[in-house]
C-alpha cells in the first residue's frame, strides 16, 4: 500500500500517517463496490485506526478511501494481503460480488417489467 498524499488542489484534513487501501467513486462499478466493502469487512470495519474518508471531487462527484493508520501493523499486513490477492484475481470476495450482481440484475428486470411501453 502507498501512503496517503495530498493532491495539488486538495483542501481538507490531512492523512499523512495513513496508508490508502482501496477507494471508490460515485461511478464505481460492481467489482469496485464489492472489493471496497469486502476489504473493509476483512479489516473488521472502521475503527480508531481504520477509516473511510470521503472527499468531494470535481470530476467524479466524490471519492471514498479506506485508510489505515501507520500504527496498526495488523491491519497494514491485512491490507497488503488484500492488495496482493487483487493482483492475482480482480474480485476479492466472489460471494459478495455475485450477490451484488444478482441484486443489480433483479433491479434491471424490475425496471424492464414495470416500464410502460
Burial degree of 18 (CB within 10 A; 0-12, 13-18, 19+) = buried
User: pLDDT confidence of 117, banded at 50, 70, 90?
Assistant: low
Q: Is the pTM of this model over 0.95?
A: no
Which three three-digit cell numbers place residue 14?
490531512
Q: CA-CA distance, 66 to 21, in Å (whole number)?
A: 5
Q: CA-CA distance, 21 to 37, in Å (whole number)?
A: 12
Rg of the chain over CA atoms, in angstroms? 17
**pLDDT tens track for 59-115:** 677 889 999 999 999 999 999 999 999 999 999 999 999 999 999 999 999 888 887
Amino acid at each position: 500500500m502507498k501512503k496517503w498524499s495530498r493532491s495539488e488542489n486538495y483542501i481538507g484534513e490531512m492523512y499523512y500517517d495513513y496508508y490508502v487501501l482501496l477507494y471508490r467513486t460515485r461511478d464505481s462499478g460492481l467489482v469496485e463496490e464489492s472489493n471496497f466493502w469486502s476489504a473493509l469487512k476483512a479489516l473488521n470495519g472502521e475503527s480508531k485506526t481504520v477509516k473511510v474518508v470521503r472527499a468531494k471531487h470535481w470530476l467524479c462527484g466524490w471519492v471514498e478511501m479506506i485508510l489505515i493508520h501507520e500504527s496498526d501493523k495488523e491491519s497494514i499486513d491485512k491490507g497488503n494481503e488484500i492488495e496482493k490477492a487483487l493482483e492475482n484475481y480482480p474480485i476479492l470476495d466472489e460471494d459478495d460480488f455475485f450477490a451484488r450482481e444478482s441484486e443489480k440484475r433483479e433491479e434491471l428486470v424490475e425496471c424492464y417489467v414495470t416500464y410502460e411501453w
